[in-house]
Amino acid sequence: MKTHGIPTILAFTAAVLPATGGDHATNHATKKEPLPAITLRVLNQAQIDERVLEKAKEEATAMLGRAGVGLVWVDCGASIADSKDKEPCQGARGRAEFWMRLTNDRPAWASKENLGFTQLAGEDGSAGVYYPAVLNSAQRFVHYGNGIAPVIVFTPYFLGAAIVHEIGHLILGAHSHTPSGVMCAEWGREQLESISTGKLSFARDQVKPLQIEVRRRLSEGQPSQRR
């Protein structure tokens, strides 16, 4: 998407490897149903500052919450070796539990413009976010905004949004891009401004399918044998 002369600077196109091989939550004034939640086992391979990561976690949680889905964030250290020493990261994963790598190393098959990448195998999958691209995008946004704030102010918002985009692919599949919202393949001014204000969301017609799929996975209840 291009608007007012500002080029699209975030691209997710071709960042997903295709597969190989519930009801909408209702809030009541007196009682709220717990949100169906996914779990992310997070590897901070990029060694992102904890303050940035904590804020990104808050943004990702809020974004998914607006779509009626909860997010459980499990810190598994900086590598698989670290994760072996952390109890929540050791066992077989459940059907609504995924690995999320925050990395400085872009996969060879992913375009250099991509912020994130998802690998799907049937209904299983793992994802990652390429942190240098997140920093670059935040820097560009500050440049286009004539230095409205330091890059560090916006970095957690972009990181959180990139994480949620990949979660969207993990739950909804490879072909889940939309013309607008967090699942838009190419982010322009509309998405950038929504990211910077913490208001980016899933497209309205994706909210119920997202909830239904998470609930379906949770109802199966059996962990898979993959780690």
- 103-156 pLDDT, tens digit per residue, is 998 878 777 778 999 988 777 789 999 999 999 888 877 766 555 566 778 899
User: What architecture is domain 10-21+37-213?
Assistant: 3-Layer(aba) Sandwich (3.40)
- The ranges assigned to domains in the chain are 10-21+37-213
pLDDT digits (tens, 9 = 90+) for 155-213: 999 999 999 999 999 999 999 999 989 999 988 778 888 888 888 999 999 999 999 99
Mark out the alpha helices in the chain (DSSP H runs).
50-66, 80-83, 131-144, 151-172, 189-196, 204-220
Place of tokens 């972009």: 158
Which pLDDT belongs to residue 222?
56
